[in-house]
């Protein structure tokens, strides 16, 4: 019921339905979320571990401190989502869109909202073929993560642990690393 109401809220620009705001919930006990449109959902400190979330749409969602360990999130739309402090070890994020969410206000002002993963645990996460322009990986644990064929233009890796991280064929133009650590 909450998913249906949230889907209405997204589809009508907030005129009908209700935004899903759920904190400290274990989503593994509910219906499958793969392919669902949950744009702008707020689900901080929630558990999604080992769930099949392929194709999910979480643009602009706040998911800070949530557990996504071993999740299948291939081809998800995560533009502008926040995963600060999230546990995402061994998550499969292949072909995800984690570019900035671009919003244009009625007065013409354009906002770029980057995907934020500061201090997230991303050991051995798989990002193969993902779009990650301007993503924030400050102070993340990325040891053993695979960024093969990723677009990382303008991404920020300051303070990140990148020992054993794979950047094969990744686009790193304007990406920011600690001095002497750029691959």
Short-list 9, 91, 90, CA closest to 42: 9
Question: At residue 20, does pLDDT exceed 70?
Answer: yes
Q: Which two tokens stand for residue 75?
A: 């081809």
Question: At residue 125, does pLDDT exceed 70?
Answer: yes
Put simply, whether the predicted model's pTM sits higher than 0.95 gets the answer no
Cα separation, 54 vs 49, in Å, equals 13
Short-list 124, 114, 162, CA closest to 140: 162
68-87: pLDDT as tens digits: 999 999 999 999 999 999 99
DSSP class per residue in 101-123: EEEE-TTS-EEEE--B-TT-B-T
Distances (CA, A) of 23 to 43, 44, 81, 139, 146: 5, 5, 16, 24, 30
Whole-number average pLDDT of the chain: 92
């Amino acid at each position: 019921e909450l998913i249906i109401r949230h889907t209405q809220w997204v589809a009508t620009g907030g005129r009908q339905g209700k935004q899903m705001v759920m904190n400290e919930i274990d989503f593994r006990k509910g219906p499958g979320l793969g392919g669902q449109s949950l744009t702008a959902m707020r689900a901080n400190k929630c558990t999604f571990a080992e769930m099949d979330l392929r194709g999910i749409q979480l643009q602009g969602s706040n998911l800070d401190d949530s557990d996504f360990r071993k999740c299948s999130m291939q081809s998800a739309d995560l533009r502008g989502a926040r995963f600060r402090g999230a546990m995402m070890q061994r998550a499969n994020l292949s072909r995800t869109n984690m570019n900035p969410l671009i919003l244009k206000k009625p007065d013409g002002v354009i906002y770029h909202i980057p995907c934020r993963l500061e201090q997230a645990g991303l050991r051995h996460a798989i990002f193969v073929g993902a779009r990650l322009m301007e993503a924030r990986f400050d102070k993340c644990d990325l040891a053993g993560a695979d960024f093969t064929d990723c677009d990382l233009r303008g991404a920020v890796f300051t303070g990140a642990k990148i020992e054993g991280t794979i950047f094969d064929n990744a686009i790193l133009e304007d990406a920011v690393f600690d001095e002497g650590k750029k691959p």
